[in-house]
Amino acid sequence: MSVIVTDSGFQTDDFDCGFVTRDEAAANDCDYGIDLPSDTAPEALAGLNNAPMIRIDFPSSADGRGFTLASMLRKAGYKGRLRAKGHVLADQYAMARRSGFDEVEIDDALAARQPEEQWLFRADWHAHDYQSRLRG
């Protein structure tokens, strides 16, 4: 199972359409979500603006490529739901939100190690922007 983390805390997954790879998306004519690995080439993001959800994998909490992909998608005009999936830590939640993610999907084991309170502490992600604090 997995837990969806939003600014309101832990939620259940309400996306019922399932996920396909970017290559499978062209052959699929229903509302689908697209799974992107963290090593997706930037040029492969073109043409994804109509997907209702894009889920970007974080294979490790030390792998920040997903943040860059999210930012690139938003700058290219993507308006759908953007979800980080995998090894995203509560400490990284504010960064995930600032880079364009709407939510984070974590497994039950991580949710047990980092309970909802830790994520909610960072849910006011505008307040955890060190650059704004430095500017006064």
CA distance linking residue 113 with residue 120, whole number of Å: 14
CA angle 126, 128, 132 (to 5 degrees): 70
Question: What is the predicted pLDDT for the residue at 133?
Answer: 59
Domain count, the chain: 1
Here the CATH number for the domain that contains residue 27 is: 3.20.20.70
Question: What is the predicted pLDDT for the residue at 85?
Answer: 98
CA distance linking residue 24 with residue 75, whole number of Å: 24
Please write the tens of the pLDDT for every residue from 8-59: 999 999 998 889 888 787 655 557 899 999 999 999 998 888 889 999 999 9
Please, which pLDDT band fits residue 131 given cuts at 50, 70 and 90? low
CA distance linking residue 37 with residue 50, whole number of Å: 19
Question: What is the predicted pLDDT for the residue at 125?
Answer: 66
Please, which pLDDT band fits residue 1 given cuts at 50, 70 and 90? confident
Which of these, 87, 84, 79, 82, lies nearest to 59 by C-alpha position?
Answer: 87
The more confidently predicted of residues 28 and 127 is: 127
Range of the structural domain that residue 73 is part of: 2-135
Whether the predicted model's global pTM rises above the 0.85 cut: yes
